[in-house]
Structure 1
Amino acid sequence: MPISAFPDHTLESAPAAARRTMAAVTAKQGYLPSAVARLATSPELLDSFLKASAAFESTTLDPLSREVLIMTMATGNDCHVCVAMHTAKLTALGAGPEVVAALRERRALPDERLQAVRVFTLAVIATAGAVDDATLQAFQAHGYTARNALEVVLGIGTYTMSTLANRMTGAPVDPQLAAFA
């Protein structure tokens, strides 16, 4: 499907069902991200992703662990928009440049606890959720819980939706995120 099938919608050109969501994102971010403008082609996908993202943000996984999962998904699915966006978020959360670089380069993290969530995320993906006891125990040995393990599944689902849709639409990196691309 040609990328031109996914226009950068404005509040005026978007399907009516997407406009309220777009306005809320614009108010929160201070601008309308290109990814949102293009996802608005499907109000259902846009709304579903934002609701799932909000649910993931409300989990008991700490913010850095959530961002490690998201960056693992973003780099694994080659979503350049997501990499830029979540590099900015990791930076705002105070993640060191060595953590950000390792995530972007798909290599082991210098922080053992964050590495545990990265490894567990990759194991859940590789096994379609059928992780063995040793894998789950290794994750839990770093202070994560059974609840966190299921929250990883939520994060994977949420960011599979986002990364695949952003790649399909060819969403560009917004100027506000260019420094993090």
Structure 2
Amino acid sequence: MSASAFPDHTLESAPAAARPTMAAVAKKQGYLPTAVARLAQSPELLNGFLKMSALFETTTLDPLSRETVIMTMADRNGCHLCVAMHTAKLTALGADAGVIAALRDGSLLPDERLEAVRQFTLAAVETSGAVDDDTLQSFLSHGYTSRNALEVVLGIGAYTMSTLANRMTAAPVDPQLARFA
């Protein structure tokens, strides 16, 4: 893909439908992330992802479980930008360094409950949602619910969208996240 196909939009150059979202993100973050500037080429994708992500944040999954789903998708789909962004979020949440390191390299997590959500996420992706009874029961046996299982699907959908789009646009890691890359 040509980098010029996905320009680093500003509030002035972006399609009108993307501008309010870009302004809100810049205000919240203190800067306009390059990924947002590039995703603005499609206001529908930018707005759709941010709405899905916000919905995922309201689920009954606890924050570390949500971040486990996100990092599992980021690692699986090879999104270096997503790994950096969510390493920063996990760090802000006070996540164990061993958990963060394992999520970054896709290895066994030292936290059994978070490993259960990681394994369930991978199984849901690999089976296109047709997880077998043993996989579902293993997930449920770690304190998760059938509602949580469906919430994992929401996370998979949202973060498949962002990881694929960020890879397609070749969005770089912004300087503000460089230490988490």
Task: Tell me the TM-score normalised to structure 1 length.
Answer: 0.99
Letter in 2 for 1:161: M
Aligned to 2:79: 79
Gaps of 5+ in 1: none
Letter in 1 for 2:47: D
How many residue pairs get aligned? The number is 181
Q: Deviations over 1:28-85 (max 9, x none)?
A: 1111001000000000000000000000000000000000000000010010110000
The Cα of 1:2 is off from its aligned counterpart by 1.1
Aligned to 1:154: 154
| CA root-mean-square deviation | 0.5
Q: Runs ≥4 in structure 1, deviation > 6 angstroms?
A: none
The Cα of 1:105 is off from its aligned counterpart by 1.0
CA contact (8 A) 1:3 1:168 kept: no
Aligned to 2:175: 175
CA contact (8 A) 1:72 1:103 kept: yes
Letter in 1 for 2:142: H
Once residues 105 and 86 of structure 1 are traced to their aligned partners in structure 2, the CA distance between those partners, rounded to angstroms, is: 13
Aligned to 1:58: 58
Once residues 156 and 4 of structure 1 are traced to their aligned partners in structure 2, the CA distance between those partners, rounded to angstroms, is: 29
Q: Deviations over 1:81-136 (max 9, x none)?
A: 10000000000001111111101111000000000000000000010000011110
Once residues 75 and 41 of structure 1 are traced to their aligned partners in structure 2, the CA distance between those partners, rounded to angstroms, is: 25
Task: Tell me the TM-score normalised to structure 2 length.
Answer: 0.99
